[in-house]
A = this chain, B = another copy of it.
Amino acid sequence: MKIQTQIPVTLYRANGFIGRYQKLVRETVIPYQHNVLWDKAPDTEKSHVAANFINAGKALRGEDAGDGFYGMVFQDSDAAKWLEAVAYALAVHPDDTLERQADELIDLIAEAQDEDGYLNTYFTVKDRDKRWTNLLEGHELYCSGHMIEAACAYFEATGKRKLLDVAIRNAECIYDRFVTKRIEGCPGHPEIELALMKLYRVTENVHFLELSKRFIDERGVDPSFYAKEAEKRNWTVWGCDPWDNDYRQSSKPVREQTNATGHAVRAAYLYTGMADLASETDDAELMAACRRLWDNVVHKKMYITGGIGSTVIGEAFTVDYDLPPDTAYSETCAAIGLIFFGSRMLESEIKAEYGDVMELAFYNTVLAGMQLDGKKFFYVNPLEVNPGISGVACTHRHDLPVRPKWYACACCPPNVARLIGSIGTYAFGENKDTAYCHLFAAGSVSFANGMALECVTDYPYDMTVRYRVSGKGRLAVRIPGWSKRYSVFVNGSAYERTPENGYVYMDIDGSSEITFVFDGTPLFVRATNKVPRLAGMTALRRGPLVYCFEGVDNGKVSELRIDRSVMPEVSGYDETILGGIVKLTAKAVRVSDCDELYSDEPEQYVSCEAVAVPYYAWGNRGENEMRVWMNICG
């Protein structure tokens, strides 16, 4: 049974920390990415996204397709993610120029759509006869999924139907093939499943629910599908192994899956679609599979930063408890996918763990994916960087010590932009009688049930969250798992109520001021002994923020041993450093070095302080040693 839904993006107006990030996305990231799409950004890898649509339109009209297609097979999705980010920006902050830019791109997209609704510039420009012959690698359904998400967002933000109509025709084209004509096949890269659920809600057209269910239910039923498909064609994009079903979560039917495998973004997107379908159709068996997979990811395969994916090989999960900090993949997009997954689990089950993971992934890995100035991006988010090794050794080449500008494969930057723009939909939920606060996000929210709230907070640095609530109904606020103690005040009076699954519920009638005071004591965190790479190490967190130790503050970081017997000092909020942070200073010792590679000379220890900054802000002060997990002393 669907307990709650996300609020529309239009209903939350951010300020505070989230507001500053939304402003950065609006003023810097979106314009920069527009230039990238149009190949106008200097010193940046060629994108060709707009040109691909222009050339596809020409090809469809029988004209010469200009300079053809350029880029990744999924290049179209960059346009879709940018449009989705633009939609979220316009939803709360009208901007004629930006809307014109979006409409211009939408016109090109519409012209690139084939008569039957098919939409993909790679195949339209290069070879229309190869359409649908390579679901393994072709990313047609993945790109359609992103375009559908963009269309729903743009329609909701602006009321304009053009892109929505394109998306509907495209989805009907896909429906015709995979449902009406019952042609075998599932997306090599899941994503359209969750997108179709959005389209179903916007259009109320049951085809799209059916189509999403079709892709979810048939996935993994025939593990030889991709191999049979590959035998029928004489071309490949990357030479992917069609038998590596674990990579794309198609080794067995999704309802039988218990172990998160393969490409972490594919996994997270698939699980999101599954959880969404399960809540929409009240499918207990599917929901049970989602719970198993959630537990496997979150309790056995997730970095402390909310990142997922332990290896660059396939950008993938490996095995339980294998969480190397220095060779981590922890792709920005995968953390975004994990937020999606958590948000859809909340549709069926109100439990604080989902919000705990969502805010962990958001405040740490997702934000770390972007330079503080919004101009450079990490695709991969290591938890340890050692200059000379990270980014250099063949085993560490993906773990860059500083953010590059743009990637040939540009999935992450626009994904960060759309996630930040729509964070309100993940932070707040509603149903008939209840307003849910899953994440703490300053700003104002109105709910469909008539309730409204103003959230005043300097979260994630100040742990006091004030709500001015009005209306009639229930307010449900998540108590974060990291908060050892907390207090709740209603109109100044202490309010004591045992939380249910980590949520405090209270009845609202009229106007109230409700204050939550969470515990901002820094916490030393260890990993279970089952994680061999983290034996003898500690991490440091405060509230939702995981901290890290950088060379610029500490000299050689790997020489430090943290003393956990002393509570770290919490600085005041300093807006002059790293865009505004609270520093933590731990007691530590520094270990003397030895001259030889190996030595039996006794070590010397000197007491010192170890300065930690929020992980999301690392790598903003040049190339630099960095560690989340520190060796301990004592």
Q: A300 CB to closest chain B CB, in angstroms?
A: 7
Give the residues in chain B near A596, CB-CB below 8 Å. 299, 528
Are A597 and B318 also in contact (CB < 8 A) when A327-B395, A395-B327, A632-B536 are? Answer: no
Q: A615 CB to closest chain B CB, in angstroms?
A: 14
Q: Is A529 an interface residue (CB 8 A)?
A: yes
B311 lies within 8 A of A531 (CB): no
Give the residues in chain B near A384, CB-CB below 8 Å. 532
Report the separation of the CA atoms of residues A596 and B103 in the bound assembly, to the nearest whole angstrom. Answer: 49
Q: Per-position contact with B for A318-337: 1 when CB-CB < 8 Å, else 0?
A: 11111010110000000000
B388 lies within 8 A of A527 (CB): no
A591 lies within 8 A of B531 (CB): no
Report the separation of the CA atoms of residues A557 and B541 in the bound assembly, to the nearest whole angstrom. Answer: 27
Q: A306 CB to closest chain B CB, in angstroms?
A: 11
A523 lies within 8 A of B600 (CB): yes
- Output the nearest chain B residue to A631 by Cβ-Cβ distance: B536
B523 lies within 8 A of A535 (CB): no
A529 lies within 8 A of B389 (CB): no
Are A318 and B393 also in contact (CB < 8 A) when A326-B532, A525-B598, A594-B526 are? Answer: yes
Give the residues in chain B near A537, CB-CB below 8 Å. 536
- Output the nearest chain B residue to A311 by Cβ-Cβ distance: B395
Report the separation of the CA atoms of residues A105 and B620 in the bound assembly, to the nearest whole angstrom. Answer: 66
Give the residues in chain B near A394, CB-CB below 8 Å. 311, 313-314, 316, 318
B311 lies within 8 A of A393 (CB): yes
Report the separation of the CA atoms of residues A631 and B311 in the bound assembly, to the nearest whole angstrom. Answer: 24
Q: Is A498 an interface residue (CB 8 A)?
A: no
Q: Is A530 an interface residue (CB 8 A)?
A: yes
Q: Is A206 an interface residue (CB 8 A)?
A: no
A320 lies within 8 A of B532 (CB): no
Among residues 578 to 598 in chain A, which have CB atoms less than 8 Å away from a CB atom of chain B?
591, 593-598
A597 lies within 8 A of B632 (CB): no
Q: Is A553 an interface residue (CB 8 A)?
A: no
Give the residues in chain B near A632, CB-CB below 8 Å. 536
Q: A258 CB to closest chain B CB, in angstroms?
A: 16
Q: Is A462 an interface residue (CB 8 A)?
A: no
Most buried by B among A395, A524, A594, A634: A395
Q: Per-position contact with B for A372-410: 1 when CB-CB < 8 Å, else 0?
A: 000000000000101011001111100000000000000
Q: A592 CB to closest chain B CB, in angstroms?
A: 8
Q: What residues of chain A have their CB less than 8 Å away from a CB belonging to chain B?
A: 298-300, 302, 304, 310-311, 313-314, 316, 318-322, 324, 326-327, 384, 386, 388-389, 392-396, 482, 523-533, 535-537, 539, 556, 558-559, 561, 591, 593-600, 603, 631-632, 634
6 pairs of A and B residues whose beta carbons are closest in the complex: A536-B631, A318-B393, A523-B600, A386-B532, A535-B558, A529-B593
A-B contacts, 6 of them at CB < 8 A, read: A316-B394, A524-B600, A526-B598, A528-B597, A528-B599, A530-B593
